[in-house]
Amino acid sequence: MHKVLTLSLHCVMIFMAFPAWGARPFNTDDARIVDSGHCQLETFTKSQRTYSGSEFWFLPACNPWGAELTLGWNRIESETKGVAQAKFLWKPLETNGIGFASSFGMFGDDPFVNGISSLSFLDDRSVIHVNLGVLQDRSADKSRLTGGLGLEQLLFAPRLYGILEVFGQTGDKATLHTGLRLWIVPNRVQVDATYGTQQGSPSRRFTTVGLRLLF
């Protein structure tokens, strides 16, 4: 398992990536899906700190027959885009083990595919998520390699988790993202808040606040 992790880390450092939608507040996706016959709703706002700008995301998802299907939308400044994704779990993540999943979908007019792995350590107190994928950027008429690396760390059982991740896509600077996830009702109602930075000229800084409901 350590050899797999080392190889995955090297790949991600070469191809920092997006898009993929993991469980809030991650951008990096995880090798888990909503339980069969259940649904979730994830929604969050994102505020830019370097300049005046905001986003709103609304992402409902359900698992009717073994795959997690997401159909939602986002608004970035004044532009609204649809978001559609199908996610399949190939190997469930087990305690101190490794899980695998994959997803494909559309972000606006741009199709994407994503490979996902998650690795559990310390009896699920620490979980590492690794993504590698491809986004077809139709406006630029080019394919962009995508990926991400995230750490999910239990801070105070069973409600409070910390997250740390780095993600991006070829042609852009990587984004460093950190935050907290708090279960108000364990495995039912979650709130979260994050802070992120992306190097550039000028650099970008942002905050997010989110809500996740499972039912």
Q: Which fold has domain 2-214?
A: Porin (2.40.160)
pLDDT for 32-47, tens place per residue? 999 999 999 999 999 9
pLDDT for 151-201, tens place per residue? 999 999 999 999 999 999 998 899 999 999 999 999 999 999 999 999 877
Query: Distance between CA atoms of 152 and 30, rounded to whole angstroms?
Result: 10
Confidence of residue 19 (pLDDT cuts 50, 70, 90): low
Q: Specify whether the backbone of 206 is left (phi greater than 0), alpha (psi in -120 to 50) or beta.
A: beta
Q: CB-based contacts of 41: which residues, under 8 Å, 6+ apart?
A: 58, 59, 60, 61, 211, 212, 213
Closest CA to 195 of 212, 211, 208, 210: 208
Q: CB-based contacts of 131: which residues, under 8 Å, 6+ apart?
A: 12, 17, 20, 28, 29, 114, 115, 116, 117, 146, 147, 148, 149, 167
Q: Which residue has the higher pLDDT, 204 or 202?
A: 204
In this structure, of 17-26, 29-38, 74-83, 164-173, the range with the lowest mean pLDDT score is: 17-26
pLDDT for 108-133, tens place per residue? 999 999 999 999 999 999 999 999 99
pTM (two decimals): 0.88
Q: Which residue has the higher pLDDT, 21 or 17?
A: 21
Closest CA to 89 of 69, 111, 59, 105: 69
Query: Distance between CA atoms of 113 and 136, rounded to whole angstroms?
Result: 9
pLDDT of 5 strictly over 70: no
Confidence of residue 78 (pLDDT cuts 50, 70, 90): confident
Confidence of residue 11 (pLDDT cuts 50, 70, 90): very low
| Residues 161, 197, 112: CA angle, nearest 5 degrees | 80
Closest CA to 24 of 66, 72, 96: 72
| Residues 174, 209, 88: CA angle, nearest 5 degrees | 65
Confidence of residue 21 (pLDDT cuts 50, 70, 90): low
Tokens of 66: 């073994």
Q: Which residue has the higher pLDDT, 46 or 7?
A: 46
Alpha helices in the chain (DSSP H): 2-14
Closest CA to 23 of 201, 198, 206, 165: 165
pLDDT of 61 strictly over 90: yes
Tokens of 20: 């993929």
Give pLDDT, residue 2.
45
